[in-house]
Amino acid sequence: MKTMTLRTRAGQPAWQCLSAAAGAALLAIAVTPATAVAQDTRDAEDASDSIVEEIIVTSRRREETLQDVPIAVSAFSGDQLEDMGAVDITAVTHQSPNVHLEVSRATNTTLTAYIRGIGQQDPVAGWEGGVGIYLDDVYLARPQGTVFDVYDVERIEVLRGPQGTLYGRNTIGGAIKYVTRGLSDQTEAKVRVSYGTYNQADVVVTASTPVSDDFRIGGSVARLTRDGFGDNLNLPGLE
């Protein structure tokens, strides 16, 4: 009696090829769940990283989420401003389209504001501006003293386009709202210290505490100093 052995093209017995194929199939089955789990984990991490912080704005004189407002608004929370390293209100220029804010008239407190090309060329008391500046919904009629430092702030809203319906005159270009942070129902204290070029030294201290269920007290103190860019020839040693 003759025995017949099946061989592959390479001369290997067929049972070896079948064993190799079965082993490969088992390996694929074992690896597939782990790969799927790893993919699900990465998808979950990507989803958590893409979550957008919900910002409540009052651009239409009532509280709404930024995504629900049907007008062109850029809003920055206090935490976002800190992450940006914002020193004063002019920092939002770099994150808001068609917005230009700068310190003007050789001072550090007078603001020149343009939104969509509309603003006040020379910020003097006798000129009417095209961009309204609001501090906690209080209109500031003059640009002097409106370069607000960024500390103890809840958010800054930049409203682009005419806002005369809700905000009245001097808002044909838009409006900028600086909203201070409310007091917490828990005792809090925060200190921020920074140092920069030209001996810039900034110290900001913020604290608050509840006195009763209906009464809270708090405040902020800041000391911001920096040397000048030139030498005072009349008083040697001063810059």
pLDDT tens digit string along 74-132? 999 999 998 988 889 999 999 999 999 999 887 888 999 999 999 987 777 777 889 99
Q: What are phi and psi of 223, to 5 degrees?
A: -130, 110
Q: What is the pLDDT of residue 179?
A: 94
Judge residue 147's burial from the number of C-beta atoms within 10 Å of its C-beta, 0-12 exposed, 13-18 middle, 19 or more buried: buried
Rounded Cα–Cα distance for residues 123 and 104 (Å): 8
pLDDT tens digit string along 9-30? 555 555 455 555 555 555 555 5
Q: Is 175 within 8 Å of 134 (Cβ atoms)?
A: yes
pLDDT tens digit string along 156-213? 999 999 998 899 889 999 999 999 998 888 999 999 898 988 888 999 899 999 999 8
Residue 4 has pLDDT above 70, yes or no: no
Q: Is 130 within 8 Å of 170 (Cβ atoms)?
A: yes
Q: Give the global pTM.
A: 0.70
Q: Is 101 within 8 Å of 112 (Cβ atoms)?
A: yes
Rounded Cα–Cα distance for residues 161 and 164 (Å): 9
In the sheet that holds 174-180, the strands lie side by side as: 73-77, 153-160, 174-180, 131-135, 138-140
pLDDT tens digit string along 21-79? 555 555 555 545 544 444 555 655 655 555 556 778 888 878 888 888 878 999 999 99
Q: What is the pLDDT of residue 160?
A: 95
Q: Report the CATH number of the 56-180 domain.
A: 2.170.130.10
Judge residue 39's burial from the number of C-beta atoms within 10 Å of its C-beta, 0-12 exposed, 13-18 middle, 19 or more buried: exposed
